[in-house]
A and B are shown apart, each in its own frame.
Chain A
Amino acid sequence: MRSAALRTVPAIWRLVTLICTPALPRTMLTAMSIDSRTLSEFGSIVGERGLISSPEELHTYECDGLTNFRVLPSAVVLPTSAEQVQSIVLVCHREKIPFVARGSGTGLSGGALPVENGVVVSLARMNRILEIDIPNARVVVEPGVLNLDVTGRVQPQEYFYAPDPSSQSVCSIGGNVAENSGGAHCLKYGFTTTHVLGLEVVLPDGSLVHFGGKNLDTPGYDLAGVFVGSEGTLGIATKIILRIVKRPECVRTLLAAFPSTNEAGAAVSGIIAAGMLPAAIEMMDNLAIQAAEAAVHANYPNCGGLLLVELDGPLAEVEALMAHVNEICRSNGAWEFRLAQSDAERALVWKGRKAAFAAMGRISPNYIVQDGVIPRTALPQVMSEISRLSQETGLRVANVFHAGDGNLHPLVLYDRRIPGQEQAAEALSFQILELCIAAGGSITGEHGVGEEKKMMMAKMFAEPDLDTMHRVRCAFDPLQLSNPTKVFPTPRLCGEKPGEYVPHPVESAGLAERY
């Protein structure tokens, strides 16, 4: 099938790529090519401008936001319509070519990492907002629409699109759907899945189907619920029906400085115990604060634990509750308070938090962003474990949390130039995830499993759990063409019988229940 002539091109490119991107540890720079007939078939579907097959250009697509995994795809196609996506997938299905859908490529778990000998389907050119329906609070978009643009379009009517991942100015709704993206405000408003009411999807066999709709509770299984967060393994969304939310009457953000994250964590528990559900509760430790200061001069107090508490709703309600929050923080040892009332003040307070990941570049040459979740009450214990691991390995760990829902973002700092340090940092980041599992939590709260954490899935779930998910995947994609190498720890064909149930190691040790 594949011509020898074409196969030689990537071999040359492999060298060039290595020169362009120095010191990539686990690179898999192969780009086996799809035969020329199939390639021209793709070209006739998407047009000349919609097909990328030259190695120089393919290079752009070899990784997403997780840059230490790279695979050169055989081709990238950029369809402009659902019909084109359908035609592409039909060809892939016929030729058994694996494909990976890609939005803006900002994902942090390697979900949009190409697969060898596969095609990347970039949805970047499908970026139209198709319908804005204010009376029903719905917006219909194509997958390439940027997250923040949805809010931008409905702002005049005093609505907003609630899920707000830190990358919201560049990430796409299609990518958000794949990853079930969260953000700081999902504590109150929920995740992407809460806001996706319906989908038009091209299934891996090329058929175009609809899940859910503008109306609630379409009879049948909640396929939209299963599809959102499936990390591109069940098909490609070509149209998404979103729910938008009315802007609250007022928003107030309190910044409180604590001696350490323990006191800050106790204040969070106090706020929850008092029966409040803030729009967001964010926490940063001292190292994260230092980095944010160095990067964006957010003018944060230099303290051991910083808390951002945002309340929104009716003015009288918010003011009454904010007074209570203030009291709770004070009684837990907070020594400095700043209350942001205007949009400008709020923007300043949030600036350091939103820039926290990128700010690590100011205090460390390299860093790994992790994404674990723990029951909020386990915070002090997990924090002290993290600090012990940090001391043992000599690697610094900065901590940024969505504290309200226990979503940790430990940032493991390292220097790639020091031999062995990257491996040590990676190992440490996975040890932190194991702490999360042992505490009854999860290996990912919003970044997805992707390529990065698929091996951790076997630690979080037992074999029957994974097998059941795999069976659902087989219903959607019996040939496993859609993002085939992601999420699941071990490749398995559809129809293959799993082995006997083996209790989870943590379970056997009596450390955790099956969950």
Chain B
Amino acid sequence: MTATISSIERNLCSVLGAEQIRSASPTDAVSGVQPQIVLEPTTERQLADSLRLANEDGFTVIPRGGATKLAWGNPPARADLVLSTARLNRVLEHAHSDLTVIVEAGCTIQTLQETLAQRGQRLAVDPLWPEKATVGGVLSTNDSGALRLRFGALRDLIIGVTIALPDGTLASSGGKVVKNVAGYDLPKLVTGALGTLGIITRAVFRLHPLPHNSHSFSIMTPNLAATRELIFAIQNSKLAHTALQSHFTDEAMPTSDILFEGTEAGLDAQAAQLRALCKPAELLEAPPAVWNTRQDLWSSSTPQADPEAASFVIAKVSLLPSDLARVVEFFHRAADSNRVRWKSLIYATGLGCLRLDGPSENLCHAVLALRSSLEKLGGSLVLLHRPAELFSLDAWGTPGDSLSLMKAIKHQLDPASTLNPDRFLGGI
């Protein structure tokens, strides 16, 4: 840092109004690291210029949307300025006849979905905390839920992006048509990059029609083997389900939820086929709220039985569907041997969430043991929530052989490590 905070503040006044610059408060801290100033640009150019000024003076920048997932990734090496997209929040163009939308990064998912719903459309994603989470934040964290099975991840829905680079460049790639192979697919590069390559200022998405009707069922299974059989039976059937998820905990029997969307006639036929696949006593109609289970992992209270178990971790796990039973066994064993409680939600895609409750030290051991087991199977375990005592525990896991290439890309776009330093994989 070659300049002082007051000098950068003065410089920033050349691109931002006084009401767009404020001192940071303790609530702005990022995994325990305290920033000094919060900036709220209202245009893409303002955002890019603020970023450029910070970069030129050697200040680090934390891009921020709704701040719902600010604790994801590792703590930043430094957090001088927070660049908020909160005021960059317009839906710029909903071309409903073309099933596309152009939206600014700070728009919340809920506002976006409400706008799209007016024309019977949706962005087919179900991220966490949609009422606060923003387009830019959800993209940067690559947050996906149950709908991913049918509609793919954000990478499959984003068709264009504009990013601000630390040198002040505003660069667009992709476009606003759903089919386009001109140039490199940078929308995919910045999706899931945790804001380490550039700050997303706007995105273009392909949309899907809202379903005519939908119907959810829950299916109880007596044990893990039965769950596995059920999932394979569903996969091998001609069912055209939109989502499929299974809950496993250390206390209750496994349950799976399945979602169908379509015409009334189509749904009736699907329900009949599903009934033929499972025992009648096991099949229940499920409320739509069953699809909020992932979010509930964060809000559910800590088990009271053990007063020491006041802290918890939540991890995103990736496994192959064929390894499901084996991985749930890992959860059991790691929890038992480290005396922690656990519950998990695994989607049919092989992605899922795991919550462990217990004393920090035990949590740390369980996480490391599980990560090692998952990585041996080609999977991963990424921490999304952890107690402050575990901030030093790496969020990402073992990098693969492409880490040096990732660092080269980072170096090309953000040579001074201005953006989110140290928060990403392998110290990026």
Interface residues, chain A, with chain B CB atoms under 8 Å away? 133, 135-137, 179-180, 182, 186, 190-191, 193-194, 203, 207-211, 213-223, 225-226, 228-230, 246, 248-249, 269, 272-273, 275-277, 313-317, 319-321, 373-377, 402, 405-407, 440-449, 453, 457, 460-462, 464-469, 471-476, 487, 501, 514-515
Task: List 7 additional A-B contacts (Cβ < 8 Å) besides A216-B351, A515-B172.
Answer: A218-B318, A222-B188, A229-B181, A273-B96, A442-B177, A472-B184, A515-B176
| With known contacts A222-B189, A468-B165, A515-B172, A441–B350 Cβ distance under 8 A | no
Is B88 an interface residue, CB under 8 A from the partner?
A: no
Which residues in A have their C-beta under 8 angstroms from that of B319? 215
Ordered by A's residue number, 17 sampled pairs between the chains whose C-beta atoms are within 8 Å are: A180-B185, A208-B401, A216-B318, A229-B181, A316-B268, A375-B177, A406-B179, A441-B180, A444-B181, A446-B181, A457-B182, A457-B183, A461-B182, A461-B183, A467-B169, A468-B163, A475-B412
**Residue on B with the closest CB to A494?**
B412
Stretch from B14-22, B51-59, B300-308, B378-386 at the A interface:
B378-386
Report whether B321 and A515 are in contact in the complex, using a CB–CB cutoff of 8 Å.
Answer: no
Contact: A406 with B98, CB < 8 Å?
yes
Which residue of A is nearest B349, CB measured? Answer: A216
A449–B319 Cα distance when bound, in Å, is 36
Closest 7 CB pairs of A and B: A225-B188, A317-B266, A275-B209, A316-B269, A468-B171, A249-B238, A475-B408
- Chain B positions within 8 Å of A, measured between CB atoms, are 95-100, 102, 120, 142, 152-153, 155-156, 160, 162-163, 165, 169-186, 188-189, 191-193, 197, 204, 208-210, 212, 232, 235, 238-240, 262-263, 265-266, 268-270, 273, 316, 318-322, 349-351, 378-380, 382, 396-397, 399-403, 405-406, 408-409, 411-413, 424-426
Knowing A135-B232, A376-B98, A475-B409, say if A222 contacts B191 (CB, 8 Å). yes
Q: Which residues of A contact B185 (CB under 8 A)?
A: 180, 193, 225-226, 228-230
CB-CB under 8 A from B379, the residues of chain A are: 215
Contacts of A460 in B (CB 8 A): 175, 182-183
Q: Is the CB of B177 within 8 A of A374?
A: yes
B142, B184, B210, B266: the one contacting A469 at CB < 8 Å is: B184
B175–chain A nearest beta-carbon distance, Å: 5
Q: How many angstroms between the C-alpha atoms of A301 and B104 in the bound complex?
A: 47
- Judging by beta carbons under 8 Å apart, are A317 and B204 in contact? no
Q: Is A133 touching B240 in the complex (CB atoms < 8 A)?
A: no
- The minimal Cβ–Cβ distance linking A86 to chain B, given in whole angstroms, is 13
A314 touches B240 (CB 8 A): yes
B413-A471 in contact (CB<8A)? yes
Is B179 within 8 A of A222, CB to CB? no
For B399, the chain A residues whose CB sits under 8 A away are 219-220
- Collect the chain A residues with CB atoms within 8 Å of residue B212's CB: 275
B239 vs chain A, min Cβ distance (A): 8
Q: Contact check: which of B160, B178, B401 meets A209 at CB < 8 Å? A: B401
What distance in Å separates the Cβ of A228 from its nearest Cβ neighbour in chain B? 7
Q: Which residues of A contact B182 (CB under 8 A)?
A: 442-444, 449, 453, 457, 460-461
Are B413 and A468 within 8 A (Cβ)?
A: yes
Known: A316-B269, A405-B178, A475-B409. Is A226-B184 also a contact (CB below 8 A)? yes
Q: Bound complex: CA of A442 vs CA of B204, how far in Å?
A: 14
Kindly state the separation between the CA atoms of A474 and B319 in the bound complex, as whole angstroms.
33
**Contact between chains at B179 and A220 (CB < 8 Å):** no
Min Cβ gap A143→B in Å is: 18
Q: How far apart sit A220 and B188, CA to CA, in the bound complex (Å)?
A: 12
